Chains A and B, each alone.
Chain A
């Protein structure tokens, strides 16, 4: 399967991926934020589909999600905002959200819409491996979508192998036992974990997320991994500086 994510992963560089919550700070900021991120050298974008009960997220993303929903964001509106995105943006775009809104939209309808728009992959943290394989893998594949799974420092080697087998893009490597945005800096524990995963020689590259916020953490995370994802730190930047200072943020990373 050829897809912008797999093509991007073949580039000989460490990838910077940015997450933001669609509909935040304002309802119609989505397209502008995506275009600015690409312009400033970001390699890949996770577009956050806001959810009322984001279990795996810390306060920053919770608050941006609540604000986005208050602004009136819905699945339909995001799809409408993105309908012409491929006329201006060519980097991989991933939708990241929780499974219930996707389920309510209809899994097949959701995937079809993603393909029409030019979305390359999905990250649904609460859609577990076994349910995905049994019920939804065929649909994701039919519409050319790469499903991205998470692993954590507590994930067993055997489980990582299963996830590697089921993956066809990259593995989202959660840096530490935490919700998003809660740890500051990486210690020995993360180093060991990064080394352990690197030594497993997985078929899919890994991109590290959770706890990346600046040049130092980006470098640490990408020493062995293919790239890193920044979420909460970028949302904090948007909250503090608005949507027109993206360059200032990306310059701090690399």
Chain B
């Protein structure tokens, strides 16, 4: 089975480009050019140079000894939290800002949930001297104040999305509306493996550096390129897509996704799309989607702003439906406990999003010799206020 996008951007039955005609010229321009541009030697050279000198790649693959002892398997952490700006998000924004330049765009827009993608976008815009507008839900602006401040300091304008649930979904709507209103000079840097084709495929390819590095790094550690499992948390699914990419066609590698169950999958306050979703259309692609029977998109909930999205990237819907990946979901409490455990066993405070991936041990028992690579997608600095409130640290 093929797990990558076909020419029209379909992963099995999922994907495509369900966009209003107003967006067609922009999306079509991108579709026609993205592969050609991103695999030009000059593009690859510049991209890889920036990833090395500016982002700090390769990010380490770290053998987590104490965590391994605790959970009875061999756990490696892919340290995306050590990237510049503190998460995997910058791999994609570096790629897309170069793409925007090649397409002659001068103005950048982005959506953000936790603020990590917004910061990563504001960062590359500062680096390249481009105008930057980041849409962010009003609620997220309140719960991710440090990231809002970072974006402003980097010179970006942060515009609140005040409609709907005032979180990531609504920020994405506003960014799309901005793009409709500014079709000539603007490039929209989508931060997750979502949106109309070619976005899911393009974002996945820019993030695929994660699994590319895991392969040679694991070879150094273990003498083999393929782990037994790769584990990632999933909101829209960009860190997961990058973590899985080079293992999709390696059947011996188990692929594990952990979604946000919020207060419990069936509590009515959850973001566990694979469990609660049905096939539908959101933000320009056909994918698994939390919605009412009437097709209205429902408002998700998670303690982590970055997983608070009612859909999941089309690649992940396909991995779920085809059975290629195992999907689990972790509650707020499980994710917070896993984050605390990682902090105290390994001295690494993860983002709350990332905490969900580490909650896998609540749900799945690994064998002693299993090599499990977990994507440590982001660091927890931005979540300190939530941690303080939750664990009464003040």
Distance, CA A122 to CA B291, complexed state (A): 23
CB <8 Å contact, B16 and A52: no
| Chain B neighbourhood of A178, CB < 8 A | 180-181
CB <8 Å contact, A179 and B19: no
CB <8 Å contact, B180 and A104: no
Given contacts A66-B164, A126-B281, A151-B21, contact A177 B296 (CB under 8 A): no
B79 within 8 A of A: no
Interface size on B, residues (CB 8 A): 36
| A12-20, A33-41, A55-63, A230-238 - interface stretch | A55-63
Distance, CA A51 to CA B238, complexed state (A): 27
Given contacts A100-B282, A179-B181, contact A66 B163 (CB under 8 A): yes
Given contacts A75-B295, A102-B295, A178-B181, contact A53 B22 (CB under 8 A): no
A184 within 8 A of B: no
Distance, CA A179 to CA B293, complexed state (A): 27
| Chain A neighbourhood of B16, CB < 8 A | 131
| Chain A neighbourhood of B289, CB < 8 A | 100
Distance, CA A58 to CA B20, complexed state (A): 14
A10 within 8 A of B: no
Mark each residue of chain A from 91 to 109: 1 if its CB lies under 8 Å from any CB of chain B, else 0.
0000000111111110000
A150 within 8 A of B: yes
With CB as the reference atom, state the residue of chain B lying closest to A69. Answer: B296
| Centre residue among B16, B25, B180 by max chain A CB count within 10 A | B180
A154 within 8 A of B: yes
Q: Distance (Å) between the CB of B336 and the closest chain A CB?
A: 30
Distance, CA A149 to CA B295, complexed state (A): 22
**Count of inter-chain pairs, beta carbons less than 8 A:** 112
CB <8 Å contact, A126 and B284: yes
| Chain A neighbourhood of B294, CB < 8 A | 74-76, 101, 104-105
Distance, CA A58 to CA B283, complexed state (A): 16
Distance, CA A66 to CA B297, complexed state (A): 12
| B169-177, B202-210, B256-264, B380-388 - interface stretch | B169-177
Distance, CA A230 to CA B266, complexed state (A): 43
Which residues in window 147-165 of A have CB below 8 A to B?
149-152, 154-156, 159, 163
Given contacts A99-B281, A103-B280, contact A51 B296 (CB under 8 A): yes
| Chain A neighbourhood of B164, CB < 8 A | 52-53, 66
Mark each residue of chain B from 7 to 38: 1 if its CB lies under 8 Å from any CB of chain A, else 0.
01000000011111110110000000000000
| Centre residue among B16, B169, B283, B295 by max chain A CB count within 10 A | B295
Distance, CA A62 to CA B166, complexed state (A): 13
Which residues in window 296-333 of B have CB below 8 A to A?
296-298
| Chain B neighbourhood of A156, CB < 8 A | 25
| Chain B neighbourhood of A58, CB < 8 A | 177
Distance, CA A74 to CA B292, complexed state (A): 10
Which residues in window 48-101 of B have CB below 8 A to A?
none
CB <8 Å contact, B24 and A128: yes
CB <8 Å contact, B22 and A174: yes
| Chain B neighbourhood of A163, CB < 8 A | 21
Q: What are 11 A-B pairs with beta-carbon distances under 8 A? A: A62-B163, A66-B163, A76-B294, A98-B281, A101-B295, A104-B294, A126-B18, A128-B24, A151-B21, A174-B22, A179-B180
